Structure 1
Amino acid sequence: MTQSAAINSALVDWSGLNGLPHFDRVKDEDFRSAFDAALARHDTEIDEIANSAEAPTFANTITALEVAGDELSRVSALFWNRAGAHTNETIQALEREIAPKMSRHYSRIAMNEALFRRVDTLWDKRADLGLTGEELRVLERHWKGFVRSGAKLSKEQQERLAVINETLAGLGAKFGQNVLADEKSWSLILTSEDELEGVPPFLRDAMAGAARERGEKDGVYAVTLSRSIIEPFLTFSKRRDLREKAFQAWVSRGHNGGETDNIATVREVLSLRAEKAGLLGYENFAAYKLDDTMAKNPANVNDLLMKVWRKARAKALEEEAALSGLMAEEGINGSVQPWDWRYYAEKLRERMFDFSESELKPYLQLEKIIEACFDVATRLFGVTITEVRGVTAYHPDVRVFEVRDADGTLKAMFLGDYFARPSKRSGAWMSSFQSQHKLPLKNGATGELPIIYNVCNFAKPSKGKPALLSLDDARTLFHEFGHGLHGMLSDVTYPSVSGTGVSRDFVELPSQLYEHWLTVPEILTRYAVHYETGAPMPKALLDKVLAARTFNAGFNTVEFTSSALVDMAFHTRGPVEDPMAVQAEVLSEIGLPSSIVMRHATPHFQHVFSGDGYSAGYYSYMWSEVLDADAFAAFEETGNAFDPVMARKLKNNIYSVGGSIDPEETYRAFRGKLPDPDAMLKKKGLAMVQELAGSDA
């Protein structure tokens, strides 16, 4: 690769193991000048394509666009990884500067008249170009991308749209940084046995580690807003007053007044999104976002959400009544509060199924669950995954793996970043440093190896002790690795349709489907072994775990669906002056039980407001869940969770084709039909629940 001036070569010449970057050679201060140089280089490449004297062809226009900006892609991949997984004040300041700059850059490309004329000419002649199916999809993606980015607007409208996009990029960065600031600044310090009553050893260990990270001495424990600590604390702590205090801090992220309050940011984001949709000719922002998805329009989304909501709410009210009964037995009168739910649900689970999360956790070692993840991939897809030690990644906790095909061919590199830290944003995600494709590049290489990484936020144990996961943690690990496999098994020609380059409501299918194999009995039997004795999980406990899979389904589904409905309301209704008032109005309309809150309240709803990836799209988890329940049923129907015929169909039609084929077409090729929600409702334990009259009023 020809190194541009002002770019540290480590940012663009990735000469580490199998093409990995040399992460340790990149300094925070390198990024500003590198972005400037890489953006300028990309501008030059775009001008060369747009102003070519040759008549437009697929090769000199679309293929050229596909490989342009390689330096910018590399600098961006390293920067956004650092911004999300290991940030600091320098990176955050750069993020606020670079996000709008990148938006301006891509707006200029989208509104380049000469470039769009070339793409538009090819689109008009597409039937005569002799394109493959994948090439037609790639051409369509580029053409729609230009149109949806304002290529057909007037100059004045284009200029306004560019300002909107630039402002939204800055606001998204600000929103995420505010949430992280609130998470980092809050902790509940506990020192006495009275304060720790009910807290099991595994959680005490994690809280002690969190306290040490904050500079506390031995014997001090910190409840933090990391999900891997706050949720088990709410589940096990007998101190109702401390549960309330921690819960209120958790749900108040982004809404504490002062500089980190996100309400004004949300208001501005929603206003700009509505204006953007109007400029582009859409009734609202949801219509704009859904135009290129499986769902197609907001009405289809709300139909699914409300069908599930009514059953979930009815189930949740049954669950609430049972929890209220447990509280009454303890002499606590009054209604179930949100900080009570997890604590009493755990007690109810112990009573109903005769096991507790605390009893289960010693059998769910992080190391063994990683092994289970990899073993499932080997059984289904024939790949082997081997850790490579001694390779420096972007943080000392990050682990590096080689992924090889059945014949030994290197298929991908995979990085696992599993532990929470103050420099990492909350949640879990998959991303890539580079995506698989087969095109010749200007540096002389042909194609690229996928370099994929997973980020989680599990509680880090004390030195010498194993990390123990909850069942939800283990599902999260499988989920993100499912996304990872979508990237690593990709086998397409063009990078824009590689791996997870699919519609938003299809992208969660490979990840949510992969979760199912965690609870396949032969996987749990082999990998759920006690961290001290090595003994496998007793069959009686395994049977209870499997029997309890739909326990608390009403609560879980209400948490999610309420968030998705609020997201859709924000992006389909008129101007939003008071986001919290709209949130309250929607939750009142649907009848959210007072004992449950949204999984992601508006001020910290990062899926929707920290960038627009899942804006008017949070529903997509459920849309994909309809698909994944039906897809796993295909394996169940064979009587073999690793049926080789179905596994081959799954790899060839879902995991390897990326966005090169229409999602409905590729799902039909795998399953032979499209699903309906019944399999999903059955999976959740909601199929037989009777809806409550007026529950959607």
Structure 2
Amino acid sequence: MALSFLRTKVITRHVKKQFYQNKRNAGYVVLIPEIGEDAEKNTLLAENGLPEFSDITIEKCIAAISKQSLDYENGVSHIEKSTANCKNAFKEVFQPLEMLDGQLELTWGIAKTLYLGNSSLMPTASYRNIHERAHKARSAKFNSVPIFQAAVNEKNKLKKLTDEEQRLLDKYILEGKLNGLDEAGGKREKLHSTIAELQKQRYMFREKVQLATNLFTSTINDSQVVREFPESLIKSVATSNDSSRGPWKVTLQPHVYEPFMQYCPDRSLRWNAWQAHVQRCSGFGNKDLESSTHLERIRGLRTEQAKLLGFETFVDMSMETKMAGSVENVNNVLDSLLEYARPMQDVELDSLQKYAQERGFDFKLEHWDIPYWQRKQKWSLYNFDEEKIREYFPLPKVIHSLFNLCRTLFKIQIEERSNVHSWHKDVKFYDVYDESSNKPIAGFYLDPYARQNEKIRVFDDAGWHISIQNKCASTGTTPLSALIFNFQAPTDGKQSLLSFNEVSVLFQRFGHSLRHLLTKANYSEVAGLSNVEWDAAEVCGQFMTLWLYDPHTIQAISGHHKTEEPLPDKFIQNLQNIRGHMAGYTLCKELYLSRLDIELHSKKAFWRDLVKELWPKYHALPFDKYDSHPLSFTKVVSEEWAAAYYCHIWSRMIAADVYSAFEEARNANQDLLAVGARYRDTFLALGGSCHPGEVFRRFRGRDPSPQALLNNLGLSKKIVEE
């Protein structure tokens, strides 16, 4: 089932994702002059060239970003003037632009690190100011007609270009086209007004969803209801310092709602929370928070934007920045996965219904019952208890073993460096060495622990990787990044213990960071994670998590916090089984959201009509007439994942196929290290300097197939209906 369509060449661009919305107090705005008194010198760096985090203030960040943004915009203007008689655009245009990028990106990265690592030092409102100012400045080069034309002229020259040079030119050309630089003045003005209105509507949609999310609370007074709640959840819903005493307050914040639905034994409370969750911003509740009007307006504006740029639909425009290349290719993959997942979903739900009935559940399973009984069945079948498994994953042991795995596979050495300033005493700094060098090739900060009122909490995104500084040959800079998590902090002399899901998050984020840290590209604009197509951006992170299902790896990274005994064999086998538990049901949900996103951005039908048409194709349970989930689907409506939600599944498919190369080598008693070296030389080294379809072919020798993902999930054998 090879996907030969990936031979199509696609020009690409890299778009910065929006910053995360803080789920707590939005902070305050610091009112200072546009350029502060410290702006003339770089007060953000220590003598060792690393950020002086212990001495960084909001004022210094704003002063620095203001000065650097003005310098950046002036620098772009100066470079524009040199394009008139340009003979070598790389030397006269793009290398000077690389020189400009460095300081602005560094300050921006420092601010984002503080925002996610310690928002008492960088509140949301302050970071928003920095983010918007830096983003506006950096956009100047992609909105420049002279620079756009210089890229077009350079590409038209009859001379051999490297992959990296080709990708760099393609990026500037596509960015320019999507900004309307090759359109006539009137059409370009119309495009800009459309985008401005789109931004306004997206903001209003996002704000309404946030308000609706914050409105709901449900109070629990009965201690029996919370008796099975894990420690992290009970602390999140506690209303007093003593979390063991009620009352407890349930909200729709993701880090509360998701585990609450899994652990709450009271069906009426689950129903109440589910109804509130899926009805957010609908016409069934607070009319002032209705977002259907905004959703339809956003869809219309995106279609208008696409047509102004010469595309039939917004999805077609989106495919310009995707590995898949066309919506037909995406739909073919989604349909091939659904063919196996949908029949399995029916079998899984029948099994779950019988399991629940055997335990006294006298109702037909509904949407609000699935998470609870799914967790119970998983525990019953596989004796899977996240809290018990935690005992085998003390954080220091896991990190040490993760570094060892990377040393073996990728021939790198990771060493902690002391006396490095950071934003909190828990943060550590590590240098990354190549086996052939005594000088660090990269570095990263690791901030592992949750801190009340300092860090953002998101249930399905428990960690972040921030690219603070990119590799750049022109400036001689090496990659620098930060990894920030919300793991449980050590208490009473007890080490931080990770759930298996948290171990997966650690491996995923670290695998993602390796693409940034080990890049060998020369231009920062296409180095590491920059310029990687959206549907290939998560591949390296997903790839690392697959090692957790290798018995040798899981034994190496586990060790009981008291006895150091590795995870028992029966637990390891159960982890394999758990991965496939209700895999059809879970995959169908993701496939549905992916297809809904595509339909919303390629068809004109009202959103509810699209939902009603798609729902039965992907779900065994009937659609609830009050369910209005698209009205709070912020990831695709108000954030950056419009016509791109499928990217998560696509990355998983590519990652599974990549990992299968290691499995094949192991099964054939071939050299695993040779496969690791090839992976580093392709996916990690090339980053955005080569099209991901070509990167995959250089690594795998063929085009990708969804077969490995189906195998991993236990879905490769389709259920045959009698």
TM-score range, shorter chain: 0.7 to 0.9
Q: CA–CA distance in 2 between the matches of 1:265 and 1:27?
A: 37
Residue 673 of structure 2 is aligned to residue 644 of structure 1: yes
Please list, as runs of the form range in 1=range in 2, the aligned pairs for 1:293-332 lying within 5 A after superposition.
293-332=322-361
CA contact (8 A) 1:365 1:531 kept: yes
Q: CA–CA distance in 2 between the matches of 1:461 and 1:210?
A: 18
CA contact (8 A) 1:516 1:632 kept: yes
By how many angstroms is 1:432 displaced?
Answer: 0.6
Distance 1:171 1:660, change over 3 A: same
- Structure 1 regions of 5+ residues with no counterpart? 441-446
Given the alignment, which residue of 286, 292, 300 partners 1:271? 300
Residue 109 of structure 2 is aligned to residue 77 of structure 1: yes
Q: Residue 618 of structure 1 aligns with which residue?
A: 645
> SS where residue 443 of structure 2 aligns?
strand
Please list, as runs of the form range in 1=range in 2, the aligned pairs for 1:293-692 lying within 5 A after superposition.
293-388=322-417, 391-395=420-424, 398-406=427-435, 407-420=437-450, 423-424=455-456, 426=458, 427=461, 428-440=463-475, 447-458=476-487, 464-501=493-530, 502-574=532-604, 579=607, 582-588=610-616, 590-591=618-619, 593-594=621-622, 601-612=629-640, 614-639=641-666, 643-690=672-719
Q: Deviations over 1:268-318 (max 9, x none)?
A: 433332221111100111111112422111111112112212322221221
Q: CA–CA distance in 2 between the matches of 1:654 and 1:232?
A: 35
TM-score by length of 1: 0.86
**One-letter amino acid of the counterpart of residue 149, structure 1:** N
Q: Residue 444 of structure 1 aligns with which residue?
A: none
* Structure 1, 379-388 or 168-177: larger mean CA deviation: 168-177
Q: CA–CA distance in 2 between the matches of 1:588 and 1:183?
A: 27
Q: Residue 23 of structure 1 aligns with which residue?
A: 53
- Structure 2 regions of 5+ residues with no counterpart? 1-33
* Structure 1, 51-60 or 374-383: larger mean CA deviation: 51-60
By how many angstroms is 1:514 displaced?
Answer: 1.0
Distance 1:532 1:336, change over 3 A: farther
CA contact (8 A) 1:366 1:467 kept: yes
> SS where residue 51 of structure 1 aligns?
helix
CA contact (8 A) 1:274 1:571 kept: yes
By how many angstroms is 1:474 displaced?
Answer: 2.1
Q: Deviations over 1:39-90 (max 9, x none)?
A: 3211211111111264242210122223324333233323344455554798
Given the alignment, which residue of 135, 138, 147 partners 1:115? 147
**One-letter amino acid of the counterpart of residue 411, structure 1:** I
Given the alignment, which residue of 208, 214, 219 partners 2:244? 219
> SS where residue 363 of structure 2 aligns?
coil
**One-letter amino acid of the counterpart of residue 187, structure 2:** Q
Q: CA–CA distance in 1 between the matches of 2:395 and 2:289?
A: 34
Q: CA–CA distance in 2 between the matches of 1:688 and 1:364?
A: 33
Q: Deviations over 1:343-380 (max 9, x none)?
A: 22233234433444444333233443333322221121
* Structure 1, 45-54 or 354-363: larger mean CA deviation: 354-363
By how many angstroms is 1:485 displaced?
Answer: 0.7
CA contact (8 A) 1:482 1:512 kept: yes
Distance 1:182 1:145, change over 3 A: same
**One-letter amino acid of the counterpart of residue 67, structure 1:** M
CA contact (8 A) 1:198 1:236 kept: yes
CA contact (8 A) 2:115 2:122 kept: no
Q: Residue 55 of structure 1 aligns with which residue?
A: 86
Distance 1:311 1:419, change over 3 A: farther
> SS where residue 416 of structure 1 aligns?
strand
By how many angstroms is 1:552 displaced?
Answer: 1.8
Q: CA–CA distance in 1 between the matches of 2:203 and 2:414?
A: 35
* Structure 1, 72-81 or 169-178: larger mean CA deviation: 169-178
**One-letter amino acid of the counterpart of residue 79, structure 1:** A
**One-letter amino acid of the counterpart of residue 466, structure 2:** S
Distance 1:361 1:435, change over 3 A: same
> SS where residue 560 of structure 2 aligns?
coil
Q: RMSD between aligned alpha carbons?
A: 3.6
**One-letter amino acid of the counterpart of residue 404, structure 1:** Y
Please list, as runs of the form range in 1=range in 2, the aligned pairs for 1:277-292 lying within 5 A after superposition.
277-292=306-321
Q: Percent identity?
A: 24
**One-letter amino acid of the counterpart of residue 219, structure 1:** S
Given the alignment, which residue of 54, 68, 79 partners 1:38? 68
By how many angstroms is 1:171 displaced?
Answer: 5.5
Q: Deviations over 1:325-354 (max 9, x none)?
A: 122223322221233223222332344334
By how many angstroms is 1:319 displaced?
Answer: 1.0
CA contact (8 A) 2:233 2:259 kept: no
Q: CA–CA distance in 1 between the matches of 2:131 and 2:187?
A: 21
> SS where residue 454 of structure 1 aligns?
strand
CA contact (8 A) 2:111 2:130 kept: no
Residue 206 of structure 2 is aligned to residue 206 of structure 1: no
Q: Residue 443 of structure 1 aligns with which residue?
A: none
By how many angstroms is 1:251 displaced?
Answer: 5.1
* Structure 1, 552-561 or 167-176: larger mean CA deviation: 167-176
CA contact (8 A) 1:320 1:595 kept: no
